[in-house]
Structure 1
Amino acid sequence: MEKWTNFILKDVTLELRQLTINKNIGDNDFCGEKVRVTFVEFKMESIPERRPFLLSRDFVFAKPLDKSDTQFQGFVYRVKKSSIVLAKFGDEFHSQHHSSSRYNISFSFNRVCLKRAHQAVEAATDPSFHNFLFPECPVRRDSFALPSFYFSNGVHLEQRSAIRQILALKGLSRAGVVVREAVWQVYQRSKDSRILVAAPINKTCDALMRSLKDKIPDSEIFRVNAAFRKIDVVPDDILPSCLYKEESECFACPQLEELQQFKVIFSTFVSSFRLHNEGINAGHFSHIFLIDASSTSEPEAMIVLANLANEDTTVVVTGAQGKRSGWVRSPIAQRNGLQISFFERLKEFTPYKNLDPAFIARLDPKLESDETNSY
């Protein structure tokens, strides 16, 4: 969060833009009747790399150059073309603003994502969740005999082995081809299966969903999006499997009864909270795939598990040994272990650390360096 502390746009001219949007009825959500709203527009020549980055509903502060003791707070409405920011300020700002006014601009984060992580950490303290966090000996369910089946083209021998392990309700594996094939096999073989595929970023979720859309009917697959994800970055072939409300210009989830009917749902770790918020209970999903769990913080991964998994859920975690989240940059957080992912920490427990083939599958076995292997 401190990344923005020293990031200040100095001596900025702010332009006003009139847009027609839906009426703000509270909590910064635009819904209801159409109204004309005045936005402030400015360009950021250089935006900090990677996360954290500006998102809709992050906070903007404008400090007039001629009034050192005055500062106005607004919020980001939209970021266009990755560099042009539209922000919404209140009447107090507009009453003193002139076309010649110049400002220093700074930013702060909307804490909604952190609040979801805090909620997940609190939920994970329930004693019944202990075995997910600190597995003394993972419960091994009886494996069942798998019938012969045909894999899709391009699935290699090691990947087939990992897929068979997933189908036998065992351990960890790799993302990509393995996950796609495993989800497809689970979907095919059990009419009662309910699958959640979660990943840290939208790009991964979109890619996995697109790889399965030609196999799973639209009526049985759904993509959860953050409410104010920009619609123009969502792939066109995925949009039919999303719920976008034109009147409120935001993504939503259907009512609980309809949501429960989907057999396969895709979401980022953070946005999975929306399923919990809509009333999906822990245990609803028969299988939860945490994809690339080595590249995100453990509290973020817990947003999925703490709210949606129980002792009856088959949880498959994928990641790369030695890979750590680049999002945790605070020295204080790093010293206290937050850079260590759920995947990396889990792998230190028996039987994962012993590479027990009943619980963990290693891809790329010919590679000598363990640091490059995926599980």
Structure 2
Amino acid sequence: MLHLEEIQMEVDIRKYDMHNKTMTRDQSNKKLLVLHVPGVAENRPSVLRGDHLRVSKAEDKEQPITVYKGYVHRVELERVKLGFSKKLLQNFINNMKFNVEFTINRFPLRMQHRAVELAVKHCLGEVLFPTGSHARDKPLPQPQPQLSLYDRKLEKNPEQRTAVQRIVAGVSKPAPYLVFGPPGTGKTVTLVEAIKQVHKTHPSAHILACAPSNSASDLLCERVQEHVGLHQLYRLYANSRDPGTVPKSLQKCCNWDESQDCFVFPSKKTLMGYKIIVATVVTAGRLVSGGLPSGHFTHIFIDEAGHAVEPECIIGMAGLLHAEAGQLVLAGDPKQLGPILRSPLAMQYGLGISLLERLMLDNPLYQKEEKSGRFNNKFVTKLLRNYRSHPAILKIPNELFYDGELQVFADKELRNSYCNWEHLPKKVR
């Protein structure tokens, strides 16, 4: 299915190819050429720093046509700055015309293929297809750990508090622990509290925290940073990240190298010295490439897990998590929009189903028990209190998708603040 998705990506990118397009020298750096690309700011096409384009002179008609590879140094509003070999630069004249061919970034795909292979190699069957045989009949530790929560608001939320306790106790291992609920129920808050508590309670723990996007990963890191020292926390960025978009609060605990003007990959020894590493699920694959030993991470947390295809989610654990002793925690909402794919065939055969959704749909451990009508909180917690929405907004999704169990806890003054807005459509009686 990954091959089907890649083929469709190759087909789709072709529609952005350009012919007879001019390039000019960059005024601030004569070694770079500037190409005007309408729509690049809206990811049409998607071009990131570190990607490459292929260009050939429009005047070349006879075979073999020389093709030059240009590496993207900077992406601006409607133009990209490209670095080429000396061979092209020496013969370049401003406004020369080129045929331009865009390419897909195969790195995430390569990481996904490798992750699937590593999952088999490292025997992650009980993590990806858990039976619960190790944990189902194991009694909960008594007495329950009395945690001093960093976020005091969680003390008043029984579901969030229970989820944190179960994660810290590791009662589901080796099966993943799932935290799910609709927007506004505090999934990320719960995950962040669990990360901090594991860090405090288990001094030997090494934690990897991931999300599919940079924005979600940054949010995790910023919130963890509130109670964890910079010498213990590290934000690992990919080379393609625009340094200008890195939050100020994270600039001192990430892999940006001012002297080299780029993100650098630290040594294995340096990385292993940190207690908590935060990265996107794809960038987490570089930790395997960098030689971190299997089982180095005792806990792996993946937020927004419902937005990642399963092989992408596996990147963050395969080759990094110990198959039996490690704890995987997934947070997300299988009822929201899932992974976005291009291939209809890949969608048809299930690639669009995230690991989180598959576990909740197909695995009895993560489904409501017939007798009690409740989820087994050894393996999963459903967050019920919504802190964001007006009751009228919550009513329909609550009835359609959440069994009518959601409770309104949004601040009354805040949730009603726009009810009398003059432009708000009013129901005609």
Q: Same fold (TM over 0.5)?
A: yes
Equivalent positions of 1:249-288 (< 5 A) are 249-288=261-300
- Equivalent position to 2:17, from 8, 20, 31: 8
Separation in 2 of the partners of 1:128 and 1:207?
32
Higher strand share: 1
Aligned AA (2:164): I
Aligned AA (1:66): E
CA drift at 1:253: 3.6
Render the CA deviation track for 1:75-99: whole Å, top value 9, x for unaligned. 3322333432011223443455432
Aligned AA (1:45): P
Q: Given that residues 206 and 275 in structure 2 are in contact (C-alpha distance below 8 angstroms), is that contact kept between their aligned partners in structure 1?
A: yes
Q: Given that residues 194 and 263 in structure 1 are in contact (C-alpha distance below 8 angstroms), is that contact kept between their aligned partners in structure 2?
A: yes
CA drift at 1:346: 1.6
**Structure of higher CA gyration radius:** 2
How many residues are treated as equivalent by the alignment? 358
Q: Structure 1 length normalisation: TM-score?
A: 0.86
Does 2:210 align with 1:207?
no
Q: Given that residues 117 and 303 in structure 1 are in contact (C-alpha distance below 8 angstroms), is that contact kept between their aligned partners in structure 2?
A: yes
Counterpart in the other structure of 1:146: 145
Counterpart in the other structure of 1:327: 340
Q: Given that residues 75 and 87 in structure 1 are in contact (C-alpha distance below 8 angstroms), is that contact kept between their aligned partners in structure 2?
A: yes
CA drift at 1:287: 1.0
Counterpart in the other structure of 1:239: 251
Counterpart in the other structure of 2:84: 89
Separation in 1 of the partners of 2:96 and 2:265?
42
Moved more, 39-48 or 223-232: 39-48
Structure 1 runs of 4+ aligned residues shifted over 4 Å read 48-52, 371-374
Q: Given that residues 116 and 273 in structure 1 are in contact (C-alpha distance below 8 angstroms), is that contact kept between their aligned partners in structure 2?
A: yes
Moved more, 8-17 or 291-300: 8-17
Does 2:239 align with 1:227?
yes
Identity of aligned pairs, percent?
26
Separation in 1 of the partners of 2:27 and 2:41?
28
Separation in 2 of the partners of 1:50 and 1:56?
13
Separation in 2 of the partners of 1:213 and 1:78?
30
CA drift at 1:4: 0.9
Higher helix share: 2
Separation in 1 of the partners of 2:229 and 2:364?
40
Separation in 2 of the partners of 1:303 and 1:49?
27
Does 2:357 align with 1:351?
no
**Gap regions ≥5 residues in structure 1:** 21-36
Q: What is the aligned-residue RMSD (CA, Å)?
A: 2.7
Identify if the C-alpha distance between structure 1 residues 288 and 148 changes in structure 2 by more than 3 Å, giving closer, same or farther. closer
**Gap regions ≥5 residues in structure 2:** 1-8, 181-186, 369-374, 387-397, 407-429
Does 2:69 align with 1:60?
no
CA drift at 1:108: 0.3
Counterpart in the other structure of 1:128: 123
Q: Given that residues 224 and 242 in structure 1 are in contact (C-alpha distance below 8 angstroms), is that contact kept between their aligned partners in structure 2?
A: yes
Identify if the C-alpha distance between structure 1 residues 202 and 82 changes in structure 2 by more than 3 Å, giving closer, same or farther. farther
Q: Given that residues 309 and 339 in structure 2 are in contact (C-alpha distance below 8 angstroms), is that contact kept between their aligned partners in structure 1?
A: no
Q: Given that residues 166 and 172 in structure 1 are in contact (C-alpha distance below 8 angstroms), is that contact kept between their aligned partners in structure 2?
A: no
Q: Given that residues 72 and 93 in structure 1 are in contact (C-alpha distance below 8 angstroms), is that contact kept between their aligned partners in structure 2?
A: no
Separation in 1 of the partners of 2:45 and 2:115?
20
